[in-house]
Amino acid sequence: MRVLMVSKACVVGMYQRKLEELARIPNMDLHVVVPPFWRDGRHATPLERTYPAGYELHVQTMALNGNFHLHFYPKLSAVFQRLRPDILHMDEEPYNLATFHAMRLARRHGIESLFFTWQNLLRRYPPPFSAFERYSFRHASFALAGNQEAAQVLRAKGYTGPVEVVPQFGVDPELYHNDRHAPCAKTGFVIGYAGRLVEEKGVQVLLHAVAELQGAWSLRLLGRGPYQRELEALGARLGLGGRVAYCTGLSYGEMPRELNGLDALVLPSLTRRNWKEQFGRVLIEAMACEVPVVGSSSGEIPHLIGDAGLVVPEGDARALRDTLSRLMQSPELCAELGRRGRTRILSYYTHGHIAAATQAIYRRMLGEH
Give the start-to-end residue ranges of the domains of the chain.
2-169+350-365, 189-348
| CA distance readout (Å), 201 to 40, 213, 218, 267 | 19, 20, 19, 7
- What CA–CA distance (Å, rounded) separates 7 from 34? 6
Burial class (CB in 10 A: 0-12, 13-18, 19+), 106: buried
Higher pLDDT, 253 or 34: 34
Phi and psi torsions of 183, nearest 5°:
-60, 130
- 178 has a pLDDT exceeding 50: yes
The average pLDDT across 203-215 equals 97
Q: How confident is the model at residue 183 (pLDDT cuts 50, 70, 90)?
A: very low
Specify the fold of 189-348.
Rossmann fold (3.40.50)
* CATH superfamily of domain region 2-169+350-365: Glycogen Phosphorylase B; (3.40.50.2000)
pLDDT at 21 over 60: yes
pLDDT of residue 329: 96
Give residue 187's pLDDT.
Answer: 63
pTM of the prediction?
0.93
- Averaged pLDDT of the chain: 96
pLDDT of residue 241: 84
What is the per-residue pLDDT for 368?
76
Distances (CA, A) of 154 to 94, 133, 279: 10, 10, 17
DSSP state of 268: -
pLDDT value at 125 more than 60: yes
Confidence of residue 66 (pLDDT cuts 50, 70, 90): very high
- Label residue 78 by pLDDT band (50, 70, 90): very high
Listed in sequence order, the residues at least 6 apart from 273 whose beta carbon sits closer than 8 Å to its beta carbon are none
Using the predicted structure, report yes or no on whether residue 181 has a pLDDT greater than 90: no
pLDDT for res 93: 98
Measured CA to CA, the distance from residue 46 to residue 359 in angstroms comes to: 28
Percent of the chain with pLDDT over 90: 93
Share of the chain above pLDDT 70, in %: 98
According to the model, what pLDDT value does residue 41 have? 80
pLDDT at 145 > cutoff 60: yes
Contact in structure between 46 and 37 (CB atoms under 8 Å): yes
**What pLDDT does 250 receive?**
83
Counting other chains too, the contacts that 230-233 makes at CB distance below 8 Å and 24 or more residues apart are: 230/199, 230/204, 231/197, 231/203, 231/204, 231/207
Checking if the pLDDT of 24 tops 60, the result is: yes
pLDDT confidence of residue 369: 53
Two domains, one topology: 2-169+350-365 and 189-348: yes
What are the helix and strand counts (H, E) for the chain? 13, 15
Please report how the helices 317-328 and 331-344 are oriented relative to each other, as an axis angle in degrees rounded to 10. 100
pLDDT at residue 251 in the model = 82
Mean pLDDT in residue range 212-225: 96
Cβ atoms of 202 and 274 within 8 Å: the answer is: no
Distance CA 10, CA 3 (A): 15
Residue 357 exposed, middle or buried by CB count within 10 Å (0-12, 13-18, 19+) = middle
Name the 3-class secondary structure at 61.
Answer: coil
Q: pLDDT tens for residues 86-103? A: 999 999 999 999 999 999
- Range with lowest mean pLDDT among 89-98, 250-259, 315-324, 336-345: 250-259
